[in-house]
Structure formats: structure tokens, C-alpha cells
Amino acid sequence: MKVEKIGVVGCGIMGSGIAQNCARSGYQVVALDVSEEMVNKGLKGIASSLKRSVDKGKISQQEMDAILARIQGTTSMSDFTGCDLTIEAVTEDLELKKKIFLQLDQTCPPHAILATNTSVLSVTDMAAATKRPEKVLGMHFANPVPVMKSLEMVRTISTSDETVATAKAVGERLGKKVIVVKDQAGFVANRILTPFLLNAVRMVEAGCPKEDIDALVTEGLGHPMGPLTLLDLIGIDTVFRGASAIYEELKDPQYNPPTLMRKMVAMGWYGRKTGKGFYTY
């Protein structure tokens, strides 16, 4: 199956990044959110990101204009009736995602593939909410989407070979290194990354200055970003929910979020998106 038009559910950091990446790769894109305000915020973020690329000489103004022209913002799921692939990129809430997949199944054309950008939640549970489980899979992009090259493609026990092949071809056209993984708690990336991030928080709880932790990781381990800076970028609430979901399934204590993280989430200190996390923005 040839994919020409892609729907994206959610115009937040991940959704807008996915929409930008798809449009820049030549796809027609329909980007949906719950309100005009959220849609416009996402489109404005895409335009700002592309403008930085123009300023750096990576793309021309004409290319930027063409990319933006390929993106249609909407608040109506009925605009997904012409999409060949739809990627859900809302908050990590399984019940919410299942409701969205039920709606997508009723709205999108029969041939359309339905994908989720979840980083840890069960893709199988979302597929079970539809009448086309063979056409459901995970497409977990790394943040920021336009920059990071990896794409975890999550296959359930019901995902067909054709669905995997079609989605993989899309991922490769987006310039990603596609890695096909099983539908298991945390998949691969977050099974590895989550304990690393949580242990950094535990070291803060133990009294180690956050700046020292980040410096040791960047200067000593060669990472481009320290774990606490990375937590602020991803969203402390997002990592908290993801870690909790993995812990709930595996009961492995290394995935149980530290008390400090629980308190920060309760206070609304999510990182960059709220202006305060481990650092102030």
C-alpha cells in the first residue's frame, strides 16, 4: 500500500514534530487537536522550527512555505477520511488512547494503518479497541522528532507483515533508522533509558547537586545531555507516567518512580513546558 496522506492526533511537542517531519518528507498531513488554540500553537511551533532551519541555511524560504502548505490543521476527526496512515500522539493515558483508536477505526478508511507514538503503553490494548488489529502498530519517535533518527516500530501479535512493511517504508522516507520490536513493557528504548533517568533523580534525593550529575554524564560518559536536563526536556510527568506503567506490568522496583518525582508532578513542575523542573526556564 502506498501512503500519501498522514493524519496526526495531537499537536503537542511530539505531534507537531511528527507532522513537521512528515510534511518535510513530502507527505500531505492533517494535524488534529481538541481546540483551535492547540492546533494554532502546534502550527506556530512548526513554523518557528522551520524558520530556524531557514536562518541556518538548511532549507530555503520556498521550501519552508511548501512544507507548511502541506499541513492542514483541524479539530474534526472527519478530516482523517482521506488518510492512509494516522499516528496518535496524545498524552500517555491508555484509556484515552483506546477511545481515540475506537474513533479512528470508525472514521479512517478501511485500508488505513493506525499507529500510536506511545513510549511504553500496550499497543495490543489499543489494537483490541478496533476492528482492524492487523493494521495497528506502534511508531515510537524520539524527541525532538525532526532531529532524532531512531524510530521504534512496535509489532503486536496481530500486526500483519504488510502493515509492518508499509509503516517501515514510511519511517525510512522520514529519514529514520527503523527498529522493529515486540509489544512489551517499555519496548526497548525505555526499558533501558527509564532506570537511568530514575537513578539520576534518586541521586538528587541523596544530596548530589543536579549540575554535578549532568556534568558527570556529559563530560564523563559523553552524552549530549545530562539526565536531569533530559527529564526536563521530555517532561517529568511523561517519564513518571511511563515508568509507572512499566512498574505496574513488571513489578520491578527499578521502574518505581522516586518520591521526589512524585512530588514534582503533584506540584506541576514538569520541566521546560511549564517553566520549572529540575531547572528553571
Q: How far apart are the C-alpha atoms of 150 and 87, rounded to whole Å? A: 16
CA quadruple 232, 235, 236, 239: dihedral, nearest 10: -120
Q: How far apart are the C-alpha atoms of 251 and 157, rounded to whole Å? A: 23
Residue 129's CB: how many other CB atoms inside 10 A?
20
- Catalytic hit among 16, 21, 119, 122: 119
Sheet with 85-88: strands ordered across: 71-74, 28-32, 5-9, 85-88, 113-116, 136-141, 150-155, 177-182
Residue 110 DSSP one-character state: T
Spatial contact of 67 and 96, defined as CB atoms under 8 Å apart: no
- Catalytic hit among 16, 21, 122, 190: 190
Concerning whether 76 is annotated as a catalytic residue, the answer is no
Q: How far apart are the C-alpha atoms of 258 and 84, rounded to whole Å? A: 41
Concerning whether 140 is annotated as a catalytic residue, the answer is yes
- Catalytic hit among 16, 49, 122, 152: 152
Longest dimension (CA), the chain: 55
- Catalytic hit among 21, 49, 92, 140: 140
CA quadruple 247, 253, 257, 262: dihedral, nearest 10: 100
Concerning whether 190 is annotated as a catalytic residue, the answer is yes
What residues are annotated to the active site? 119, 140, 152, 190
